[in-house]
Amino acid sequence: MDEGKARAAGDPGTSGAVPHPAAGSADGSPEPAAPGLPAEPRREAPAPAAPGTSPAPEPAPVPLHAPDPYGTPPYGRPGPWAPAPPVQRPVVTPPHGTHVPPTPPPYAASQAEVQPGVTPAQGTALPAYPQPQSGVCDPSVPAAPLPYACAQPGVTPAQGTALPAEAHAPAAAPAGPWQYDPWAAGTRVPESGEATGGGKGGPTRRRIVTGAVAVALVAGAVGGGIGAALERDGGMTPQVRLPQSAADKGDRAPGSIAGIAARALPGVVTIHVSGGGEQGTGTGFVLDKQGHILTNNHVVQPAGSGGSISVTFNGGQTAKATLVGRDGGYDLAVIKVTGVSGLTPLALGNSDSVRVGDSVVAIGAPFDLAGTVTTGIISAKERPITAGGKKQDGSDVSYVDALQTDAPINPGNSGGPLMDSEARVIGINSAIRSAGESEGGGQGGSIGLGFAIPVNQAKRVAEELINTGRATHPVIGVSLDMGYTGDGARVNADGAKGAGVTSGGPADKAGIRPQDVIKKVDGVPVHSGRELIVKVRSHRPGDGLELTVERDGREQSVRLTLGSASAG
């Protein structure tokens, strides 16, 4: 081992402090420098003062290097070797509230070993030496006998500077909010709940808990929001998003199907009837603000005179209704609701203005599906049809000179409006022809053959039912042979069933006789007795007709004015 390493290890037989070269040998000559290090310059002793004169002040030593804030020896010189400080073994912290006596600092032993007049080990704390009273650092002032009077406190002086033998007090630890040293002497253990920081605003347990709770709440809210967003978007798995146009909430053109339906639906109702062991569903529409509703006679017929009629409006409001009047020959009836506000009557058109091919809209409750809208065209006009006929006397048979349409009409549509492109009622949906059924029977579905009572006829009948409770029928004053199979309508012969021509009636006045065959009405051929009835009932009492009559193989034309008969 070389000499430098031996010095670093220290000699166990010595105190561990290496004499400073400034101490010199016994004869005053300088000690040789350590191997590998430059020799220390020789310091000359000051010359003795002349007798009778004051000695000149000793000049202050000039440091070889600028003051080092880290307290290390001058660069290039070996420092004073000192043994390592003793190992500090902490003891158990005493119970809360126990007074801890002051203990000497752990580095007191190493300080006690510092020899006076020798530079201490690197890093040893130095006491603050007194400064001149004048407050001016002047090494030439005699009042400061020490040559290091101007040395900076806390910094190791230059190599060779003599030090006094003084007690060294440990430096006080700086005060701070979290600088609590349980091993320092004189340190007081904080009381429970006492702020450990210095000054005002030190954190307390309550503030710490409050902050932690706030952080937890914010984190939970953020996490919940992120989780909800991921759940809505399908989690982390990529989701397919298809392009779609924005919702169009604008109104449709008034003449469009949607525009017609929007205006008409508030005035259309669904009718439920029960009585006499029967029940049924149909449709109707509002005629006026007084609550009158028009529908088919066969819709309300189960109610009779003691049944129940319930009306449900398009908005869901329900009300009880009473029967105002009905007529089986026209298959029309009027009912009325009371105590209902905000009614929307539908506008009535003119069926005489209808042309084949015109667009129409049918609204009703087929199979109790309220508010169903279908559309089609007028397929034909003045289509003679009969409906009913379940009674033996034929009192339930209705004769209609109908409008034919291909708009889908099904059971439950009966009594609903057939509307033109201006949202005006031009007919009352009344009958259909289904596949596989005979005329006038069955409960089949639509095959595009629907029939509606012209609104001109319905308007007259509805007015009479509202005003008088009865409807009048136009008549010509004859009885017909319904079993006749020839072309036309033959007048009955006088016999057990009565006279063929009513005495004094319109036909009698026009010169029609029994057994005459009526071939045309206003130039339109009729092929049966039912067609003649339909044509006559399509007019009002008092209207004039021109009939073409065949008698004894010859045809002649006669004119008459229709009479009136009340429905029985």
Active site residue 298: yes
Active site residue 473: no
- Contact between 47 and 97 under an 8 Å Cβ cutoff? The reply is no
- Give the contacts of 455 (CB within 8 A, at least 6 positions apart): 348, 349, 350, 351, 425, 426, 427, 428
> In which residue are the tokens 């057990």 written?
496
Q: Tell me the C-alpha distance between 413 and 367, whole Å.
A: 8
**Cβ atoms < 10 Å from Cβ of 13:** 5
264: its two tokens: 């008409």
> In which residue are the tokens 């073409």 written?
548
Catalytic one of 110, 351, 379, 414 = 414
Report which of 424, 300, 294 is spatially closest to residue 358, judged by C-alpha positions: 424
Query: What three-state secondary structure class fits 400?
Result: strand
Active site residue 331: yes
Catalytic one of 20, 272, 292, 298 = 298
Opening angle at CA 364, ends 362 and 365, nearest 5: 145
Query: What three-state secondary structure class fits 75?
Result: coil
- Give the contacts of 84 (CB within 8 A, at least 6 positions apart): none
Catalytic one of 110, 327, 331, 379 = 331
Query: What three-state secondary structure class fits 335?
Result: strand
Question: Which CA distances in Å does 108 have to 112, 174, 233, 284?
Answer: 6, 19, 71, 114
Q: Tell me the C-alpha distance between 72 and 157, whole Å.
A: 10
502: its two tokens: 């009513």
Residue count of the chain, please give it. 568
Tell me how far the alpha carbon of residue 431 is from its chain's centroid.
47
Query: What three-state secondary structure class fits 207?
Result: helix
Kindly tell me the burial class for residue 243, based on how many C-beta atoms sit within 10 Å of its own C-beta (0-12, 13-18, 19 or more). Answer: exposed
Kindly tell me the burial class for residue 473, based on how many C-beta atoms sit within 10 Å of its own C-beta (0-12, 13-18, 19 or more). Answer: buried
Sign of the C-alpha dihedral computed for residues 467, 469, 474 and 478 taken in this order: negative
**Cβ atoms < 10 Å from Cβ of 440:** 15
Q: Which residues are catalytic?
A: 298, 331, 414
